[in-house]
Amino acid sequence: LTSAITGIALADGTAKVWSAALTAMLSCAEAGRPDLALPTVRTLLGHTPKGAKPPAGLRDSFKDLLVRTGRWSD
């Protein structure tokens, strides 16, 4: 599912669909599975449409996972 969401968001290319995809990944993280959503988040953030901003809370939802895996220092 996360791969499909990534594909849809990248194919569409608009800020609206990109933001909706990140919001879905935020919901996944808040449900206790940030590990499943992180690859999609990283891909989408690497393809941010001009003028788009990530949803509020995205950084906080993935911070613990990124710190534990050594990808981000606290």
| Cα–Cα distance, 54 to 19 (Å, whole number) | 6
Q: Which residues contact 44 (CB under 8 A, 6 or more apart)?
A: 6, 9, 10, 18, 21, 22, 25
Tokens of 5: 């969401």
- pTM value? 0.87
> Would you state the pLDDT for residue 10?
97
> Would you state the pLDDT for residue 74?
60
| Cα–Cα distance, 61 to 64 (Å, whole number) | 7
> Would you state the pLDDT for residue 63?
87
Tokens of 10: 């990248």
